[in-house]
Structure 1
Amino acid sequence: MVGDDATRATAGAGTGAAAADGGFSTRGAYVHTGEEFTRDTNYIEDRITRDGTFPPGTPAPEGAKAWPAEAGRYRLVAARACPWANRTVIARRLLGLEDAISLGLPGPTHDSRSWTFDLDPDGRDPVLKIERLQEAYFRRFPDYPRGITVPAIVDVPSGAVVTNNYPQITLDFGAEWAAFHREGAPDLYPEALRDEIDEVNDRVFKDVNNGVYRCGFAGSQESYERAYARLWAAMDWLEDRLAGQRYLVGDTITEADVRLFTTLARFDAVYHGHFKCNRNRLTEMPALWGYARDLFQTPGFGDTVDFVQIKQHYYIVHEDINPTRIVPAGPDLSGWLTPHGREALGGRPFGDGTPPGPPPAVERIAPGHSPLYPASSAPGSENA
């Protein structure tokens, strides 16, 4: 994958200028004429567990190792633009792992090599001291043959990547890092609901999370129409499901809600037009739009979403489907803060727990990048 979304290439991050300088364009990395988009789901299967061993009854995949959960040892590298990375940032916030696992934030655009830390001073991650995430992958696997993807967890002492297996990362944040959870942290994967959560997650991944990409990166009309039909069948299923219940599974926020939210947050801003998922907008689906607003207004969700970086990533990086690399000015985001009325369905967002506090100052979304943080909230703006 290139960056977070493609399947054939060797890495991905940088600036728009890097992609245009002649040697590292992403052109041809995403869309292959006549072919259906197929995501490479082979990730580094190492895990970070409470005692550095694979849990009982969980056989270690061939060549994989377990690492011990230790506060301060690891850095989560998670671009705000990427929906798969956004999941890990939300889970980390909800569980209160900010002090245990530091956060590195690459910029929103990349070239065919690797995500870069172009938003940091001197273009280097302040903890890992690297310019490209590629360096952490190559430190562990000098001939790493796949995409340099986010999210990735890096072992700070060695500077080497540990894992980029994003579905497992969030599950392990909940189970294996429990000793470092904040007081009042929710149970995002309650044992009694795991079978149902897994079933919902499976369809949401295949037809929605990845379904939008199967539409956007389709290499033929036929493959696009198949993906489009599956996407909207799943969206209608979700609309029906959420018309009578506040959350996807049970009466509290779970892993299933985290996984669906990051796609919904990007739907009207990117997927509706850029990926041709245009039967209707999210705002035209009453239950899903109310559900998405409910989560966005819940601490730990909307405060992780940077709409400016999201649009920059998709419209600049995907040269195959947007060769002009023009970033649209819309849509209007003010609706995200309107009343949703979902409280009438009952439910307890955090169960017996409590909401997380505000994000650390260094992790706050930039003013003007979210309706939660309007441009008028920038320091000094009162004098502008």
Structure 2
Amino acid sequence: MHTDEPAATYVVDGQEFSRDMRYIATRITADGSTSYPVEAGRYRLVAARACPWANRALIVRRLLGLEDALSLGLCGPTHDARSWTFDLDPGGVDPVLGIERLQDAYFARFPEYDRGITVPAIVDTTTGQVVTNDFPTITLDFSREWTAHHRDGAPDLLPAAHADELEEVMDLVFRDVNNGVYRSGFAGTQQAYEKAYDRLFARLDWLEDRLAQQRYLVGDTITEADVRLFTTLVRFAPVYHGHFKCNRSKLTEMPALWAYTRDLFQTPGFGDTVDFGQIKDHYYIVHTDINPTRIVPTGPELASWLSPHHREQLGGRPFGDGTPPPPPRATERVPAIG
């Protein structure tokens, strides 16, 4: 982290947390209907393993096998008020884009850009300019627009037969869970916190009941909905339960959700994108208005993530008619646990 720079502020005293959803809506399309056609090798996905929104893109890229078509740049887990930085690379410079800060790619296209410098972002390597940071659309387009570059055996994460149910479930999960933990953690009043807390756990109870009866959220295969829920649940024990005060129940005290999360964690493409150390460093070091000491907790223990989950007893076919992705390439491996 660039410690000489000011830390960002996340909690506004006296206010509810409201996420700014004004993202760069530019899309990369297969039919060339935009200025950015799908083209293998042209674009670079910039992500951070710490971030749940970026984690979605990492998982979908792995499941669909887009590694050869879309290169990956990884920012470090901590950042300051200005930007995510490429602390993990030699010299702190992304080897493809040649920049230290992700903001440089944003300013290259929008010199007066005044919103958050967020991950995931896709950058056009031919110009060094950001194309999009619209995280909900990025993963949908990986499934719909990048089909020419999917691996053999890539799963269908957006099955047409479940389109309406998928949209409904993903919306509920986003509003009440994915964003709900942030509305709790970044609440500026007791009332706002309690409202978000109640809404979060009401939805988790709903999900607990749903997942006690079926292996996956929608249908009998892994879909985009599972990817989106997983990235929040996998962060629940290390950060949201304590750091964001989402502490009515531990994940391990919600049997179906805990088994479901372990099932996905042990599925190729999910757990092999998760770096618990980077996750903890990000939340506890960056959010200084919540954790001013920047002390990072040692726990929780991780061995239980590899324990049997028995979810296969509910049936389901993880990849449908497809196959698991191959192991991650050596340069993209995360630390093993257990």
Do the structures match in fold with TM over 0.5? Answer: yes
1:252 is aligned to 2:249 = no
1: CA distance, partners of 2:32 / 2:68: 20
1:354 is aligned to 2:307 = no
- Computed over aligned residues only, the root mean square deviation of the Cα atoms, in angstroms, reads 0.8
Give the drift of 1:243. 0.1
Q: Which one of 31, 34, 37 corresponds to residue 51 of structure 1?
A: 31
Give the drift of 1:66. 4.5
Q: What is the identity, as a one-letter code, of the residue corresponding to 2:68?
A: D
Q: Which one of 298, 301, 320 corresponds to residue 270 of structure 2?
A: 301
Give the drift of 1:25. 2.1
DSSP 3-state at the match of 2:66: coil
2: CA distance, partners of 1:31 / 1:24: 15
* Alignment partner, residue 7 of structure 2: 25
1:99 is aligned to 2:68 = yes
* Alignment partner, residue 115 of structure 1: 84
DSSP 3-state at the match of 1:113: coil
Bigger relative contact order (CA 8 A; separation at least 6): 2
DSSP 3-state at the match of 1:127: coil
Q: Which one of 146, 149, 154 corresponds to residue 177 of structure 1?
A: 146
* Matched pairs, number: 338
Q: What is the identity, as a one-letter code, of the residue corresponding to 2:7?
A: S
Q: What is the identity, as a one-letter code, of the residue corresponding to 1:83?
A: P
1: CA distance, partners of 2:321 / 2:305: 26
DSSP 3-state at the match of 1:206: helix
* Pair 1:289–1:66, CA change in 2 (3 A): farther
1: CA distance, partners of 2:190 / 2:246: 13
Q: Which one of 74, 77, 88 corresponds to residue 57 of structure 2?
A: 88
Q: How does 1:66-85 map to 2 (within 5 A)?
A: 66-85=35-54
Q: What is the identity, as a one-letter code, of the residue corresponding to 1:32?
A: V
Q: How does 1:267-286 map to 2 (within 5 A)?
A: 267-286=236-255
Give the drift of 1:51. 1.9
Q: Which one of 120, 123, 131 corresponds to residue 100 of structure 2?
A: 131
TM-score, normalised on structure 1? 0.87
**Higher deviation after alignment, 66-75 or 348-357:** 66-75
* Alignment partner, residue 304 of structure 2: 335
* Alignment partner, residue 165 of structure 1: 134
1:261 is aligned to 2:230 = yes
Q: Deviations over 1:82-140 (max 9, x none)?
A: 00000000000000000000000000000000000011001100110100000000000
Q: Which one of 14, 22, 26 corresponds to residue 42 of structure 1?
A: 22
Give the drift of 1:67. 1.2
* Alignment partner, residue 211 of structure 1: 180
DSSP 3-state at the match of 1:170: helix
Give the drift of 1:145. 1.1
Q: What is the identity, as a one-letter code, of the residue corresponding to 1:52?
A: G
Q: Deviations over 1:258-297 (max 9, x none)?
A: 0000000000000000000000110111000000000000
Q: What is the identity, as a one-letter code, of the residue corresponding to 2:21?
A: T
Give the drift of 1:194. 1.1
Q: Which one of 72, 93, 111 corresponds to residue 142 of structure 1?
A: 111
Give the drift of 1:192. 1.2
Q: Which one of 218, 228, 232 corresponds to residue 201 of structure 2?
A: 232
DSSP 3-state at the match of 2:277: helix
Q: Identity rate of aligned residues, in percent?
A: 73
DSSP 3-state at the match of 2:130: strand
| Unaligned stretches of 5+ residues in structure 2 | none
Q: Deviations over 1:170-207 (max 9, x none)?
A: 00000100000000000000111111011001110001
1: CA distance, partners of 2:319 / 2:211: 18
Q: Deviations over 1:298-333 (max 9, x none)?
A: 000000000000000000000010000000000001
TM-score, normalised on structure 2? 0.99
* Greater than 4 Å deviation, 4+ residue runs: none
| Unaligned stretches of 5+ residues in structure 1 | 1-14, 54-64, 375-384
